[in-house]
Amino acid sequence: MAELFTAATLAALAGRAVSEETAAAIHTWVLAAIIAEIGDLPEPVPPGVAAVALELGEAAVPTPGGAASTTIGPYSATYADTGSSGLALSREQRTRLRRAVGKGKAFSVGTATQSVVDGE
C-alpha cells in the first residue's frame, strides 16, 4: 500500500497535533477515495495524486474537541470547519487525479451522424 502522508505531515499541514491512529484512519479514507476514482495507484505515486491526497488529508484533520476557535491568554486560533461536507472529492480534484494518471475525463459525449435513406 502506498504511503501518501504521515501523521507528522498532517500535523504540519493542519498546524495542530495529529495522532498516529487519526492519521491512519484519514490515510485509509483518502486512499479509498482516490482508488475509487482512478483505480490502483501506480508506483511511484504521481505528484498530482500526492497533492490531492494531501489536500484531502488536511481537510479531514479534526479540530481539537470539535471547537471552532480557542483562546489562550493573548493568543487565539480559529479552525476551519471540517464537517462532512468537506470530506469528498471535488470535481476539480477528480479531474486532477485522472490527469495525473493519464486518464481522460470521467465521461464524454460522442456524436455520430446517421444517414436516413428513403425513410429507413
Contact at 8 Å (CB) between 79 and 64?
yes
Element (DSSP H or E) covering residue 56: helix 47-60
Determine the Cα–Cα distance for residues 78 and 89; give it in Å rounded to an integer.
24
Does residue 57 lie in a domain region?
A: yes
pLDDT digits (tens, 9 = 90+) for 22-77: 999 999 999 999 999 999 998 899 999 999 999 999 988 887 666 666 677 888 77
Does residue 48 lie in a domain region?
A: yes
Determine the Cα–Cα distance for residues 81 and 17; give it in Å rounded to an integer.
17
Contact at 8 Å (CB) between 57 and 116?
no
- What does pLDDT average to over the chain? 81
Does residue 64 lie in a domain region?
A: yes
Does residue 66 lie in a domain region?
A: yes
Does residue 2 lie in a domain region?
A: no
pTM to 2 decimals?
Answer: 0.69
Does residue 83 lie in a domain region?
A: yes
Structural domain boundaries enclosing 53? 7-100
Does residue 88 lie in a domain region?
A: yes
Does residue 111 lie in a domain region?
A: no
Domain count for the chain, please give it.
1
Res 66: pLDDT: 63
